[in-house]
Structure 1
Amino acid sequence: MKKNLLFVFTMLCALSFFTACSDDDNKKNEPEGAVLLKGTQTYSAEKLSLKYGDSPLLGKAIIFATEDGKTGTIKMEGVFDPSIIEDLLPSKTEQMVSLAPGVVPGEVTTMFNVNLTQDGNKYTFEGTDSNNGREMKYAGTVDSTSMTLAVNVTMPKNDLLGTWNLAPIIPGESAAEANKSQPLTMSWVSSTPIKIDWNWIDPQMPAGTMMEMPVDNVVKLLSSLYASPALAGALESITFQTDGNIVASYKSKGQADWQTSPTNLAQYYIKDNKMFVQLNIDNIIATVMANKGTKASTKAGFVDIINGFASLLSKGVPMNYAIKSDAATISVDQTLLLPLLSLLADETIVTLLLPNIPENYQTAASEVLKQLPEIIKNTTEMNVSLHLVKK
């Protein structure tokens, strides 16, 4: 009997020992304190304070996930906020990820792992993520209600880096020659001529004096007489920054001094020997509204434009570029221009466009817009080029 009791006592001691060891092992695997945000959380709009460089970056969403409170994943993406065009979308709560560029130029989404440090009721994290030839330093905090995140990106080196002045206007003996020495040049070859009223060009001529002209002659004339001088009066230089931002030195109408545009309005990246320009719509609209002090007005029908050119909004507008010595040419051709111009044949778009044209040009613009479908149909060449010189 004593032997049996001794055996039972020995077994109980052994079980207690193994249980204690097991508890110690489990405690070693547990994080210090409770896991604050186990699972996946999404932060956007007022729940997210995101900075790219030193400036706020709007219209983005951050998806944060952790299971153990020690490590986590962060996914950054763009979100087209429907509240800025609340009249356009069928659902005012609908989010349209494909319509917005991501946080890092050239990346519609960016995902990386982070090490977490618990600080009271929040986590902090910081580190460096390298991918696609770029380096991104990040730091932030996150809790159950909000996230702050700052990223500083260095993009791969490219030949456009630095500041470029607008090429000067060098008048030629003819419109064709002048078009070769302008900051902005245009060409448009179509077998369908354009019908114009001489009164549109020279108010001294009687209205109704119609004539046909090759489209290419007309656009070259408009470029040299109007477009290039207007551009030269509004734009001094463009700077392509190392973080992918495009910053311009510009002058608004009625202002005497040049001013620098805010960062995070437009960004760029180089891929497959092309330059892609991404527009941060939320930042642009916020800047316009701040400058004007009014709410941006919108119209239904614009949503068709957005949906039709979703890839241009998310991945960026593809542009050709060439650099020779200290001169650069950035251009777009018919591949991009023709689909955009085709929108001008839409009655809804025309209705939106005409009120923004000076009243004395509205008749001429209306008549030209009516001719566009046939001209576009027979177009064989089209190009718009911006010419820059290294500062």
Structure 2
Amino acid sequence: MKKISILLISCLTGVSVFLTSCSEDHYGPEPVDVTANYSNKLSNPNPNLNLTYSGETMIGKSVDFSTVIGETANITLYNIIPGDEALKMTNIPISGDKTGYSFTGNATGTLGTSFKYAGRIEVGQFTLEITDIQLAANAITTQRQWYTIPYTGEGEDETDPSTGIEYTNATYGVHFHSDNENVSSLAGIVEAVAGNILGSVLRSINFCEDGNITARYASMPQVEGGIFGYFMPLPIRPESDYNLSPINLATYYIKGNSLYVIPNIEMIFKQLQSNKTRAISVTDMKEILELIDRWLTTGIRFNIVSEIKPESLFNDGSYIKHTGDMMLYVDKSEVGILFNLLPLLKDVIPDSDMKETLVQLLDMLVPELIASKVFELGIVLQKEYSAEIPETTETPALLRSNSRTYQKNMELLNKVLKK
């Protein structure tokens, strides 16, 4: 009996040592204490997610972390990997210590985006690094840097060989089209003025391999003569005028023949405030975030046009053709809901000699845009920056003032201003 008791005690001791050994192998906080959603959104009064993407801080995101026994974990990334609204990674090995758990690994998103991750989680705090992100090859990343179209006046008249349509080459960096007659009648004005400004403010757009979109941008050009001054080609600015935007303000992915751009509104707000612009309240931000919630998840859908064809600008039988290699545009199904908000822009237009004209244009355009069935607004891009850049605007301006399109634009603008 005594031998049996000794044997039993020995067995219990062995089991106890084994269990203690197992416990020490997986030592860490109680799983229930670290299983939670972690967020660094501005609406979260106590942000508990420290997230970096390609080595830079990224805010406005959330992550789910869960573990049952402290050996493996499940992690869900919400709108972090471009194109994946909720990417769930399961059975990730984790290593525990006295204060938390650590982990590393590789993963691939549903659209083929590969990346590495490394993290550390403690009670009430989650640190996560996403690195080495690589989007699957697509029509955009084959040419990662795209340039805007400098507005240098109209080119030669040509004939499209496939349709026989006669058209004029035009360096309009903006595409604007509608089936509404009144809206369409202003297409020439919108394309000329907006394209002129865009070609001066934005030099290039970079579609990075990690899904980031960056751009080289400059301040708004100043001209004499109010809005009329923007019909003339603006001087080409030196590279030193342009700054490169930070990463993590917007990401993109390709699906089918569409480009989806996901703006990180909270990162953009943070950048604006760091630039000492007008502060944006949390209340205002929440309302904006609610309005464009779909954009923050699935992204803004841009149609990709890789073969630019002639188009009617004034609905009078005359055609133009945008000079460029690719056009990206949104349609009414994507942005139509925002037309009702356009009158709000009148309150934020800065005081200038253009303000009254812009207010008149908004008052006229908004009801017509709402009534339209077809609406397209886009940007024209080229693979290489135009080499034929005039040193001054005197000659192009003179040619432009005698052109058919310029004359029509002036007639339309004068009609608008007289209403």
Same fold (TM over 0.5): yes
Give the CA RMSD over aligned residues: 3.1
Q: Secondary structure at the match of 2:178?
A: strand
1:44 Cα deviation (Å)?
2.6
- Which residue identity does 1:146 align to in structure 2? Q
Aligned counterpart, 2:48:
47
Listed as ranges, the matches of 1:188-227 within 5 Å are 188-191=178-181, 193=182, 215-224=183-192, 226-227=193-194
Contact kept in structure 2, 1:185 and 1:220, CA below 8 Å:
no
Question: If the length of structure 1 is used for normalisation, what is the TM-score?
Answer: 0.74
1:139 Cα deviation (Å)?
1.1
Deviation track 1:195-231 (CA, whole Å, cap 9, x = no partner) reads xxxxxxxxxxxxxxxxxxxx3131222321x111100
1:361 Cα deviation (Å)?
4.0
- Which residue identity does 1:310 align to in structure 2? D
Listed as ranges, the matches of 1:1-391 within 5 Å are 8-9=1-2, 11-13=4-6, 15-16=8-9, 18-20=11-13, 22-27=15-20, 29-32=22-25, 34-39=27-32, 40-45=35-40, 46-77=47-78, 102-113=79-90, 114-132=92-110, 133-152=112-131, 153-161=133-141, 162-172=144-154, 180-191=170-181, 193=182, 215-224=183-192, 226-253=193-220, 257-292=241-276, 295-296=279-280, 306-324=289-307, 327-344=325-342, 350-351=343-344, 353-372=346-365, 374-391=367-384
Deviation track 1:151-180 (CA, whole Å, cap 9, x = no partner) reads 022111112111111134352379x96684
1:150 Cα deviation (Å)?
0.9
Deviation track 1:130-157 (CA, whole Å, cap 9, x = no partner) reads 2321112011222124222110221111
Structure 1 pair 122/387, CA: closer, same or farther in 2 (3 Å)? Answer: same
Distance 2:291 2:277 in 1: 30
Distance 1:378 1:142 in 2: 53
1:332 Cα deviation (Å)?
1.3
- Of 126-135 and 27-36, deviating more is 27-36
Distance 2:191 2:277 in 1: 33
- Which residue identity does 1:333 align to in structure 2? D
Structure 1 pair 318/147, CA: closer, same or farther in 2 (3 Å)? Answer: same
Unaligned residue ranges in structure 2 (runs of 5+): 41-46, 157-165, 222-236, 309-323, 385-419
Structure 1 pair 159/181, CA: closer, same or farther in 2 (3 Å)? Answer: same
Distance 1:63 1:69 in 2: 15
Question: If the length of structure 2 is used for normalisation, what is the TM-score?
Answer: 0.70
1:251 Cα deviation (Å)?
1.1
Contact kept in structure 2, 1:171 and 1:178, CA below 8 Å:
no
Contact kept in structure 1, 2:27 and 2:96, CA below 8 Å:
no
Structure 1 pair 374/290, CA: closer, same or farther in 2 (3 Å)? Answer: closer
- Which residue identity does 1:328 align to in structure 2? M
Distance 1:37 1:220 in 2: 66
Q: Secondary structure at the match of 2:306?
A: strand
Distance 1:304 1:179 in 2: 43
Aligned counterpart, 1:212:
none
> Percent of aligned positions with the same letter in both sequences?
23
1:111 Cα deviation (Å)?
2.2
1:365 Cα deviation (Å)?
4.0
Structure 1 pair 156/33, CA: closer, same or farther in 2 (3 Å)? Answer: closer
Structure 1 pair 33/189, CA: closer, same or farther in 2 (3 Å)? Answer: closer
Deviation track 1:19-57 (CA, whole Å, cap 9, x = no partner) reads 345435534543436431412133333432211002110
- Which residue identity does 2:94 align to in structure 1? L
- Which residue identity does 2:305 align to in structure 1? A
- Of 256-265 and 375-384, deviating more is 375-384
- Of 25-34 and 52-61, deviating more is 25-34
Structure 1 pair 50/299, CA: closer, same or farther in 2 (3 Å)? Answer: closer
Contact kept in structure 2, 1:31 and 1:68, CA below 8 Å:
no
Unaligned residue ranges in structure 1 (runs of 5+): 1-7, 78-101, 194-214, 345-349
Give the aligned length: 331
- Of 182-191 and 165-174, deviating more is 165-174
1:306 Cα deviation (Å)?
4.2
1:342 Cα deviation (Å)?
3.1
Structure 1 pair 354/365, CA: closer, same or farther in 2 (3 Å)? Answer: farther
Deviation track 1:259-291 (CA, whole Å, cap 9, x = no partner) reads 111000011001132111000111111111111
Distance 1:341 1:236 in 2: 28
Distance 1:164 1:333 in 2: 21
Contact kept in structure 2, 1:123 and 1:142, CA below 8 Å:
yes
